[in-house]
Amino acid sequence: MKTMATCTELLEKHAGAWEKATQHRFLDGVKTGKLELSQFYTWLSQDYYFAREFSRTVGAVLAECPDEDYELIHGGLWALWDEVLWFKEKAAERNVSLGVPMQEACAEYVSFLRSIRSEPYNVQIMCLWAIEYVYNVAWKGATPSAPAFETFAARWGADSFTEYTIQLREAADKSMRTLTEDEKKKVEDHFLKIALLETAFWDMAYSSS
C-alpha cells in the first residue's frame, strides 16, 4: 500500500516539538540582548561542527538526488561552504576558539546527520527541508535582535534563505507523494527527531560542560 505525507502535515502533527525547537530562551536572549556572550560562543563553536558535518550529508544527498533537484541541492551545498568559511571568520573576529571539544548534544546531532546518508531520498529531502526551515523560523523569530547578534539572525532570517526553504519544501512534498508505510513512519520519526535535536542544541548554551 502506498501512502503520502506533506511538510505541512508534519508541522501540524508535531506542533509542540516544533514550537520548542523554534521558540527557545536562547532566541529570546538574542532578541533582548540578555544572552551572555559566553553562551552565544558555546553555540557558535558547536554550530561550526554542525555545519561541517551537515555539508557532508548534503554532499551525499547531492550524489543521489534526482536530476530535477540537482541545482537546488548543489546550491544548498555551495551555501554551506560559504557558511563554514563565515563561521571561521566570525569566530576569528571575536577570538572564539573553534577547537573546543564537541558537546554531547552536538555529537548526537552529528551521528544523526551521518545516519541520513543511507536513507531513501524522500526521507533525506524532508530532513534537509526540516533542518533548514527550523533555523529560518527560529532566527526570524529572534529578529530584530540585539546588535551583538544581528549578523547571525540576518543570515538565517534572510529572504533568500526563506526562499531556499520554500524550494526545499516543494521538493520534499513532491518526493513524499508516494511513500511506503515504512517510509511514512520514517519521515515522521525523522521530523520529530530533528525538532528534539534542535531543542537540545539550543539547550547546550546553558549547560556548564
Q: Please report, as ranges, the residues that interact with ligand HMH according to CB under 6 A.
A: 47, 50-51, 131-132, 135, 198, 201
| Terminal Cα-to-Cα distance of the chain (whole angstroms) | 48
Nearer to ligand HMH, 131 or 171 (CB): 131
In DSSP terms, 3 is beta-bridged to 179
Q: Which three cell numbers stand for residue 45?
A: 563553536
Nearer to ligand HMH, 178 or 207 (CB): 207
- Return the ∠ at Cα 182 (arms to 176 and 187), rounded to 5°: 45
Cβ at position 135, least distance to ligand HMH in Å: 4
Residue 2's CB is within 10 A of a number of other CB atoms, namely 10
Nearer to ligand HMH, 18 or 50 (CB): 50
Cβ at position 88, least distance to ligand HMH in Å: 14
Cβ at position 146, least distance to ligand HMH in Å: 20
Residue, CB closest to ligand HMH: 135
Q: How far is CA 57 from CA 47, 54, 87, 170, in A?
A: 15, 5, 18, 20
Nearer to ligand HMH, 67 or 209 (CB): 209
Nearer to ligand HMH, 4 or 25 (CB): 25
Cβ at position 161, least distance to ligand HMH in Å: 9
Nearer to ligand HMH, 13 or 52 (CB): 52
- Return the ∠ at Cα 46 (arms to 145 and 141), rounded to 5°: 25
Q: Which residues contact 95 (CB under 8 A, 6 or more apart)?
A: none
Cβ at position 133, least distance to ligand HMH in Å: 9
Helix axes 25-32, 121-141, angle to 10 degrees: 40
Q: Are the C-beta atoms of residues 182 and 68 closer than 8 Å to each other?
A: no
Cβ at position 47, least distance to ligand HMH in Å: 5
- Residue among 177, 170, 175 at smallest CA distance from 65: 175
Provide the sign of the torsion angle of the four alpha carbons 177, 116, 78, 204, taken in this order: positive
Q: Which three cell numbers stand for residue 131?
A: 533542518
